[in-house]
Structure 1
Amino acid sequence: VQDNHASRESVAVIFGKMLGHLYTVDNNASLSFLDKGSIASSSVPYVDLLSRLGILVGDTDNNFTPKAYINRAEMAVVASKTYDVLGGSGGSAVPPTTAVTQEMTGVVSSLEQYGDNKLMGVMTSTGQLQGFLINNTTYVLKGNTTEQLNIGYITQGTTVAVTYEGQQVKVIRIMSDIQSNIEVKGTVDEIANTKIYILNSDGKIESYYYATNCKFTLDGKTVTMKGAFDAFDENNLKVTLKLDGANYVQEANFTKDGDSAYTGILVSINDDEIAYKEKSGSTTKYYEWASDYTITLENSSTTISRVKSKNKEKTLYVKFFLNSKKQVKKLMVSEDKFTKTDDDEITGTVSTLSSDKVRIKRSDTKETETFNFYSTITYYLDGEETTYKKVNSAYEAAEDKGKNFYVKVELNSSDKVRKLYASTDKNNLDGKSYKKIIDGTLYSITSDSIRVKDGSSKKTYDEISDDVDYYLNGKSSSVKAIDRALQDAGVDELYVTLYLNSDGEVTKVEVSEDEDNSATSGKIKSMTKNTIKLSSGGERDLSKDVDIRLDDEDISVSKMVEAVDDDDRKFEAKLTTKGGEVTKIVAYTVSAEGDLVGIDRNDKEIKIKTGAGEKITYKLKSSNVDCTGDWSSTRELEIAYDDGEDIEVKLTLEDGKVVKIYADES
């Protein structure tokens, strides 16, 4: 096997070794094929066996073509012919001679997997061998009982009693001891028709196939699989899985753990994401679609384009539900407002904060209460989605300065915190909407005014917010510390960025000794030949000779603009500014989708064609990156592409390299 493709010669060896348990292998065989010189001497006996059995033969010119790759259609023929010959005579095997029901008991001596089938060799106590072709539809029972098991219980060394008729296996009874059930717990990530995906306590996604007679319960009551689907549609679900010894799900017991609904005003919608505001005047937030989502408008199924058109005519309100990856799995749209019937909202100041709970002095009752966190809590700091670590750091910094740290928490129906908004400004829990951003070099700073050189002019800003945040070299700081750094460095030697609110007040000051450290990072929202706008701030002007790198390669402004305008690609960027203009852009692709037009696991490359017609090659982080959808590995994906299948892919990238592929048939 080379390059993850099987040649005709390698297939002959694999099948020949399996059938060698049942049929005579001639180690001194000589072949009559015209290209026999191209066949390795070690492969000759197995090529001879499969040729004699009529499973794998030469072409019309009497060539075996040993090095040619075998495709899916040819493999299906090989499997079918192997199935047929397993009922014939050969070696020391004792196959049935007539289509009558027979039974044999023995130990599984070999088990070879190919595709969805397995070739199972069984040896009796007298040394007789019999071969069987089995798969997931084979009826497997526990001993002499009627308890059905999964084929995964059958391994080499398992004692089995096989009932068969002609070439067809009727039932396999496993006579060996069976491993008892085990339990797995987690949060449901996805429920599919054949398996379930859960998020375990380590934050990793695991998947398990259902057993044939899998049972489902929801909050202690028996439900169908559809009932489980419906519950997951609008709820966060905890699950306890009972697995058999082959890791198939015998029981899936779900419990509701609050809904995952978000409500607000629809801002925009496209094929990549929706944008919404929780209320008028609050920060716009963006959520990408899950791979399988539904949309309704006034309770009727609809499309993105119809909602987009309707939203141009009038204000629309939304209620949507997220999966564990914070992607929209269900969107409900209406001209009427949705209400949060299951969520309560608490605001106040933090008394204590830990990774699993927060103690809040409530602003309404003035009482102090403790609230536990829900397992998939989302954190926001000054309106930007963030991590617990960053929220805790901001809390500790505020505590050191003797400042209040304000929070707003949203509770689910179990009174657990599912969202936490934090800020040192009680009026800024939903996020700052900066009216203006000033970049330049620092000339002077006091608690009452800041003088900045912006381009060729100097300007003094003396409208300072009471709760302004100061940062020096990326760390929380103070006016005194920044002034000391300015005296050490000298005027015009420190880089500064001022953030002004709609009242013209300075609400945030970022100062850096290094121009690179003064960079602003975020997702690119828009770009022209003269400006760029990130999710983390307002629009910025580009310098005439701005330096741009995309995925570690130099690129022109026009090419970068084309890339940003391509709806099938998303980017993150770090901007370096000087004199009020962006002088450097370091950008990386974070997601891309389109038709698969090439994949090479050896070179660790994948090539796609986006909807804009652009063909782009990306590097894979490894040859076996995570692959989901219709194919579970890059190896399967590469084979499917080489077999000519039309495939659409969605790529997730980190530092310019693909770390995850979602692929499905187009």
Structure 2
Amino acid sequence: MKGKRFAALWLVLVLTLSLLVVPAGAVSFTDMQGHWAQEDVEYLAGLGIVKGTSATTFAPAQKMTACEALLFCSRATGVSAADKKQIAADRADQLKEILPESVYSWAAEEMAVCLETGIISASELEAMCDSGALLKSITRENLSMYLVRAMQLEPMANNLTSYSMSFADTASISQVLRPYVYLLNTYGIVQGNTANEFMPQGSLTRAEMATMLRRAIDFMDEQGIYAELPAYTDYQWVGGVIDAVGSTSTGATLLTITGNLTDTFSISVPATVPIYENNIRTTPTALRAGQYVRVNLDDKGAAQAVRLGGALTSYSGSVTEVSQDSITVSVSGVSKRLDIDRFTRVQVGQVVGDLSLIEADAGYTQAQCWVDGMGHLAELKLSGGTQSADGLITAVENTASGQTITVSAFNGQRSQYTLVSGAAVTVNGKSGSITVSNKGDYVSLRVSNDNAGSAVSAAVDTVSDYVQGPIKTTSFSKSPYEISVEDSITGKSRTYAIADNAIARYDGETIDVRNVSRNTFATLQISGDQVVLLDTYPGSTTTQGVIESITYASPTTLAVRTPQGNTVTFSIDLTDLPDIERDGKTSSIDKLRSGDSVTVTVRYNEVYEIEATSQNATLSGTITRVVQDTAGVSIDVRFADGSSDTYQVSEGVSVTQKGSVISLYALKPNDAVDLTISGDEIVAIEVTGSSSSSTQITGSVLVTNSTDKTIMLQLEDGSVVTADVDDASFVTITGSSTSLSKLAAGDRVQLYGQYSGSLFAATLVVKL
């Protein structure tokens, strides 16, 4: 045992010396003079890629160990010194568990590069260490596999269907390693000896390794090959399957691309942009329909490199294990593990993004995987399970369909969630329920991925104190630092001392507390009257989606359904309306409709601008029946072709006539209507014709529109009506004259006039 241990330690010492001796610029080794590999060795040594066993010797005949060969291969990848250092730091814990301590001390950095670039896998390295093969001489055929991987050509090796060779000893090459040897031989990296033998089981000398390495590096330079490291790049990219290939007047190639998880788009690829197929430079003629392609973009969004991945193969199965690095799926009873990186497009529920969407404890049940011809997981769709959502409770509402809570995320965006039947609710770790008294408390939710807005569990924390709102002032001139925030719930400002060890973040990134600035939106966690956490976000944010409903009250609530399926709510002060545009023209809130596409801009936690685009009606017909009961309102509609259908109409659906809002409950049989349908749901109703009646109405002013000469009223039964007052006279209850411009939100009025269908045309307006 002592003898074996001494021999191992001696071998480690020799390896350490051979790899760590510093190269000497223009290098000349005494034992390389006249040697057949002299030019290659001295060239690589001058670049610092290979090193001598001493300042003057190279030991060309010394056999290479597997460890030495791996480290030499790592140098062919072209990974920068900065990336190498970061990779080593990121993989330090992993390598400490795999490598013997005596090897880790000098080989860790380049071995980390081997793992990151795919030269060797963690399981392969672990097996090599356990068997002792790491410090033993390496065979020529095994070296071929590692060198092909270093050259980023393993996908090509895996896709080869024919790889015949003319070596006299081809039959002696291991079957699984023949594709690797074939590629190296094809590209002139390895050659047979004078007897045309490859000698697959033969050992490899340092001189032979240097020559092979020189040829490999030269080949990579000629072909423009480099190791692309997803985790250490930050440029934007787009990807999908090529639908069509065209050309532009400038000579660029125009690609039409469709993703399984994204819409179809086109991108221009100038003739100067490099194109890679199987990681080797190719020409635009390689761009063919049916192939998966990834286009890397520069900071201006223009193509800077194109990588072809071959045809996509789809796998569907149940998820057995998942993380942000990999997923294991059971496909027809066969377990399949796939790596995930930042070049993998990911969809969770309705949300499409990158691997940051994946939560290890989400409980996904099904996965659909699209893998390109190079074995890379290009697209991944996860179904089932839940995602996390958290923030402060701002509203609690109990309805017939369940309990709905509004939650303000740490960036101030408010979303509504409905607790499903049987949802697990805890308060401070114990089973409980959510009530209006929890307004302002922190809540952590698990929300269904397949039914956005449905929460399956909620954990409320009433112990910790939180405050949200725009930062009004900061003071960092003396200790303790101070911050003043306008509370979004109470509307009052308060100044707080900041704890010495407080953590500050801006848009998710940790910052120095002194870099927190006024007018940003902040969520503060308070402990012992001091701020211990400051989560700050830009003062201006935008949300895009479709208007789901508008609830007129004080304040009025605009609910927007985002493309991800979430409902985001915005509070609007009718006495201080934001700028509103609809279809590119200045408009007002009473003109907004459910179903409108909308962009809402919020500045310092207040709605600043609303830009809406109207949606056209898709169905026209006549109401044959209206049913009002505890479930709401349902209508039967007969269409021109004689068919009919029944629709449940929710409270939030906008009902209009001649462009003005009328009450949902004003709908009557024989009303002619245009319906805007989304899926199976009505999102807007426009009454185009109906019967009339005369009456008087009383209510509170919500919005006055001096341009259109209309008043939006909330009647005593809670319904909302828009009245045309263009021909009306205005008086007060005392009989004095007044005008539309003198009416304000909240004023009580009584209108006399006549309904035209469901639109009220007033002849007299009395301010009560």
TM-score class normalised by the smaller sequence: under 0.3
Q: Which has more helix, going by share of residues?
A: 2
Larger Rg: 2
Q: Which has more strand, going by share of residues?
A: 1
TM-score (norm 2): 0.23
TM-score (norm 1): 0.26
